[in-house]
Amino acid sequence: MAVTESRPLALPSGGGPSGPGAAPTLGVFTRPRTKTGWRSWVSTVDHKKIGIMYGAAAFFFFMIGGFEALLIRTQLWAPRQQILSAEAYNQVYTMHGTTMVFLVVMPIGAAFANFLMPLQIGARDVAFPRINAFSFWSFLFGGIFLNTSWLLGGGADGGWFNYAPNNGVIFSPTRGIDFWNLGLMITGIASLTGAINLITTVINMRAPGMTLMRMPIFTWMTLVTQFLLLFAIPVLTVAQVLLMFDRLFGANFFDVQDGANPLLWENLFWVFGHPEVYLMILPAFGIVSELLPVYSRKPIFGYTFIVFSGIAIGFMGWGVWAHHMFVSGIGPISVTVFSLTTMFIAVPTGVKILNWTATMVGGKLKFDTPMLFSIGLITMFTIGGLSGVTHSIAPADTQQTDTYYIVAHFHYVLFGGAFLGFMGGFYFWWPKAFGYMLNETLGKVNFWLMLIGFNLTFGPMHILGLQGMARRTYTYDPNFGFDLWNKVATIGSYTLASSVLLFIFNIFYSKKKAKEMPPPGPDPWDARTIEWMIDSPAPEWNFDPPPTVTRVDEFWYRKYADTPDHRLVRIAKTEDVVQHSDGKGVHLPSPSYWPIITAFGLPIIAYGMIFTLWLALVGGIIVVTGLYGWAFEPPDDDEAPHGDDHGPDSETGAGEHAELEAAPAGDGELVSAGGGGQPEVETVG
């Protein structure tokens, strides 16, 4: 916390602290006050800590999912292998897909959104810090719950989309799909509450002057992503509720014998599923849109286009779901319609790729690791996007669907797109989160190893797929001619795994080395957005005072100005425009144990639903107790940020902040401030 017990709070109402000893006991808990140690993490409501925990948890699940992937690839190394039985294989690929989608890519997106978005808009925290903590814990517990199915009778085995009627008890009598179903409902609660929270934050808590069209692109993409979540999650929830009633209570939603239509599941799943794939990619799009300008030393090309194409993707993503169902008998009209809409959705995606390329054209490119990953994203995603367009042609897709060609497609978009972007983001924002830089040399090796491993793994799958190798089949025959490319893919997968290990090594290696090196300072990359104006690691209170924003790339234009002949002139030393605040008088939301307690009840309820309803009752009591304790905990100022003399949102405060700031803030001042030093001239474009 920014405010320690010994320091008086500056509050308009004049309320003073009552001394350190006076912590009131609330029910059984003392209000948590530690700032270090595990307690501080368990009770934190700080969006940065929560973001880091999202990232760490997602990376942990990434290890699990990666291990499952290696199992798959090992099994497919040679024909007719028996390393995994057919049943085990079904579970492994199902859990692999589920883990990667719901417990890795989505939460890493959430990690970046949580950590970065409030910083980028200059907010003190998210709108509802405790709900934020609750979202994280529900995600974590939901994910753990899902994975405990391995120990309790086996994982789900119907593919990550668990099509009906395969998902019914008749075809999948183990508990696996129940775990899948309930676990994803829990992470769904996390996503939904998170979405509401983050959207409210963007809508309501921007720094003075930060209009929507001045927001960094990553923040924009977060906004679109969270809207997609907001509307997609309930659709999945409906499908899962129906499935739960079918499996646990004998309802008749997907049972063909009782006149049910399995296509109901497929429709509901993909109405959720396609927006889902876009909400997995958009955060990564946002990340590269931040990285490219920094390493090209040029503003993003066509800010408005990037923003609006992101929004357009968000909209159009709702109108294409049935392209996943071309062969399920939806009829010629539906196929035609969805084929066309799918072709159109490639347009806004193409716009983005054009914009990124144009951003680099003529820039002063610097090929640091984050930049390499960004370029990796652009190229790999383009390949994936193109194979996507080939699926949109329904007759072609009838050949491709359920083959390895599809597997190649979605790995190029998800790994080559989303994950490479995240890697770039990790390298880029690492100092802002942890206060030290990741080693560049290792980073570059990391990138090339990952890129090569990735292409070796998934490139050959295009060929295998077109040769007719079926997806989700545990082995193949020697005379099919699949041997060679499967061997290549397996070698690639181990290469990929080693690149991930190298990344982890880099984290620890760099941390050790960092002790001997000077701290990175607020702005190690000469970056553009306002999160680089504050110390690294970001102080708990973020900004103090909040910056007044006058344009896109505010921070950059406090350092540089464009001359009329399009040259870049340094107008202020970085050190003069960053802030080193001590957070005096900043009022922060207090930590709380209730979010984790409430979230903890959810998996208990879920175990109860599966094994014995009594346990569900216990879980229910935990949740209700948690909510009760939560409601009666002093509200702090979670919901109504007031009593803060640096209120980030007070409109009237804008002028006053400008005066307060040590560094020149207004445009006019900026220019004059440049007179102090020798202007450093750089040529751009």
* Least CB distance to ligand HEM at residue 409 (A): 6
409 forms part of the interface with Cu ion (CB under 5 A): no
Judge contact between 77 and 63, C-beta under 8 A. no
* Residues in 225-284 that interact with Cu ion by CB under 5 A: 274
Question: Which part of the chain contacts another protein (CB under 8 A), choosing from 503-511, 574-582, 605-613, 627-635?
Answer: 627-635
- Selected binder of another protein within 87, 258, 440, 575 (CB under 8 A): 258
Rounded CA-CA distance 179/154 in Å is 9
Residue 330 CB burial class (10 angstroms; 0-12, 13-18, ≥19):
middle
Rounded to 5 degrees, φ, ψ at 255 are: -95, 110
Binding partner of residue 200 among Cu ion, ligand HEM, another protein, none, CB under 5 to 8 Å per kind? another protein
String of contacts with another protein for each residue 116-145, x by CB under 8 A:
-----------xx-----------------
- Selected binder of another protein within 264, 358, 445, 618 (CB under 8 A): 264
Q: Residue 561 pairs with which residues in a beta bridge?
A: 569
- Selected binder of another protein within 59, 139, 180, 253 (CB under 8 A): 253
Rounded CA-CA distance 219/206 in Å is 11
CB closer to another protein, 209 vs 376:
209
* Least CB distance to another protein at residue 201 (A): 8
* Residues in 439-498 that interact with another protein by CB under 8 A: none
CB closer to another protein, 17 vs 459:
17
* Least CB distance to ligand HEM at residue 326 (A): 6
527 forms part of the interface with ligand HEM (CB under 6 A): no
Cα 180 to the center of its chain, rounded Å: 21
Rounded CA-CA distance 93/526 in Å is 43
- For residue 595 the two structure tokens come to 């979010």
Q: Which of 34, 33, 97, 36 minimizes the C-alpha distance to 65?
A: 97
Rounded CA-CA distance 488/456 in Å is 6
CB closer to another protein, 7 vs 551:
7
CB closer to ligand HEM, 387 vs 499:
387
* Least CB distance to ligand HEM at residue 105 (A): 8
String of contacts with ligand HEM for each residue 324-363, x by CB under 6 A:
x-----------------x--xx--x--------------
203 forms part of the interface with another protein (CB under 8 A): yes
* Least CB distance to another protein at residue 640 (A): 5
Rounded CA-CA distance 153/526 in Å is 53
Rounded CA-CA distance 606/247 in Å is 13
Judge contact between 599 and 141, C-beta under 8 A. yes
* Residues in 273-292 that interact with Cu ion by CB under 5 A: 274
Cα 123 to the center of its chain, rounded Å: 19
Question: Which part of the chain contacts another protein (CB under 8 A), choosing from 225-233, 409-417, 455-463, 496-504?
Answer: 225-233
> How many binding residues for Cu ion (CB under 5 A)?
1
- Selected binder of ligand HEM within 410, 458, 594, 630 (CB under 6 A): 410
Q: Which of 224, 43, 216 minimizes the C-alpha distance to 116?
A: 216
Rounded to 5 degrees, φ, ψ at 519 are: -60, 150
| 77, 470, 473 from 463: Cα distances, Å | 16, 12, 17
CB closer to ligand HEM, 224 vs 507:
224
Q: Which of 201, 376, 371, 292 minimizes the C-alpha distance to 553?
A: 292
Number of C-alpha atoms within 13 angstroms, CB side, residue 591? 25
* Least CB distance to ligand HEM at residue 473 (A): 14
Q: Which of 402, 350, 403 minimizes the C-alpha distance to 378?
A: 350
Binding partner of residue 401 among Cu ion, ligand HEM, another protein, none, CB under 5 to 8 Å per kind? ligand HEM
* Residues in 182-201 that interact with another protein by CB under 8 A: 192, 195-197, 199-200
Q: What letter does residue 105 receive in the DSSP assignment?
A: I
CB closer to another protein, 6 vs 479:
6
Rounded CA-CA distance 519/267 in Å is 53
- Selected binder of ligand HEM within 175, 391, 587, 657 (CB under 6 A): 391
Rounded CA-CA distance 446/338 in Å is 40
* Least CB distance to Cu ion at residue 344 (A): 13
* Residues in 224-283 that interact with ligand HEM by CB under 6 A: 277-278, 280-281
Parallel/antiparallel/unpaired status of strands 25-26 and 681-683 = unpaired
Parallel/antiparallel/unpaired status of strands 560-562 and 29-30 = unpaired
639 forms part of the interface with another protein (CB under 8 A): yes
- Return the amino acid letter for 196: I
CB closer to another protein, 31 vs 567:
31
Rounded CA-CA distance 85/475 in Å is 9
- Selected binder of another protein within 334, 390, 399, 475 (CB under 8 A): 334
632 forms part of the interface with another protein (CB under 8 A): yes
The footprint of ligand HEM (CB under 6 A) covers 161, 277-278, 280-281, 323-324, 342, 345-346, 349, 385, 388-389, 391-392, 397, 400-401, 406, 409-410, 413-414, 417-418
